[in-house]
Amino acid sequence: MESYATAQQVFAAGLVFARLGAIVMLIPGIGETFIPPRIRLSFALAMSLMLFPIITGSAPPLPAEASGLAGAIIKEVLIGLMIGAILRLFMSSLAAAGEIVSLQTSLSFAQTANPMQAQPSTSIGTFLGMIGIVLIFATDLHHLFVAAIVRSFELFPFTRDVPVNDAGQLAVQTVGRSFALGLQLAAPVVVFSLIFNIATGLVGRIMPQFQVFFVATPLGLLLGLSVFALSLGVIGMVWIDRYRELVGAFAPS
């Protein structure tokens, strides 16, 4: 190996690949479960070879013991998992919005296989998740992913310890913001459902002999999906703007 690269260069490239491999395994779009792991790791290896000449200068010296080598690699894997998990957690906002819309339109029992998750979810949640992946690539947000990966070596250099406390706080904040955003995205359907149910209750009280559920269930489903379809464009724009702000915390200004 010394004929092609020194041991120090191989060690630095291994650290870069350890972090990039962990990020690519979780990052939205590229790290989806329906993409074979071999392709994802090959993509991470190609990126590592491209970024190695830029980052190799900040790499620590080669440890003299195997324990130091394993510790350095594990630290880089943990940092990569932290970054990838934060970017992945924000995708749950679309799943939350889909679940809320499904509950309000009585479609919560319509479960389909979600390619972005390891378990089935509602049809609307799966639909919104696929729209989110399309928006990431259609708006070139994946370019910011690459910029965030490069910037991570400045925010979390090789000599810095894993920020466990900061990562935990950021994960909790991201989950809270994702759920709040999911409720905001589903707000038009929630408001319509509230007004529609109040009107249905008033009709049932005024006309007890009227078959309220027989008429209200299909009408509520049709009107709820119509409101959801009309607000779909706004949902996509608001979500991609919020996601851009999150990635902007890692990407350079």
**Is 34 within a domain?**
yes
Contact 141, 240 (CB under 8 A): yes
Look at residue 2 and tell me whether its pLDDT is greater than 60. no
Look at residue 253 and tell me whether its pLDDT is greater than 60. no
**Is 63 within a domain?**
yes
pLDDT at 95: 87
CA dist list (Å): 247 to 143, 152, 185: 10, 11, 19
Contact 238, 185 (CB under 8 A): yes
Any alpha helices (H) in 156-206, and if so which ranges? 164-185, 187-206
User: What tokens appear for 20 in the block?
Assistant: 């990039």
**Is 197 within a domain?**
yes
Name the band, by pLDDT with cuts 50, 70 and 90, for residue 211: confident
Task: Give the CA dihedral 223, 95, 244, 181, nearest 10 degrees.
Answer: 70
Number of domains forming the structure of the chain:
1
**Is 1 within a domain?**
no
Q: What is the pLDDT of residues 162-194, one digit of tens each?
A: 888 888 888 888 889 999 999 999 999 999 999
Name the band, by pLDDT with cuts 50, 70 and 90, for residue 38: confident
**Is 195 within a domain?**
yes
- Residues near 223 by Cβ (< 8 Å), separated by ≥ 6? 192, 196
pTM, two decimal places: 0.81
Domain of residue 111, residue span: 7-248
User: CA–CA separation, 103 vs 125, rounded Å?
Assistant: 11
User: CA–CA separation, 103 vs 189, rounded Å?
Assistant: 10
**Is 65 within a domain?**
yes
The phi and psi torsions of 78 (rounded to 5 degrees) equal: -65, -40
Lowest mean pLDDT among 30-44, 69-83, 105-119, 189-203: 105-119
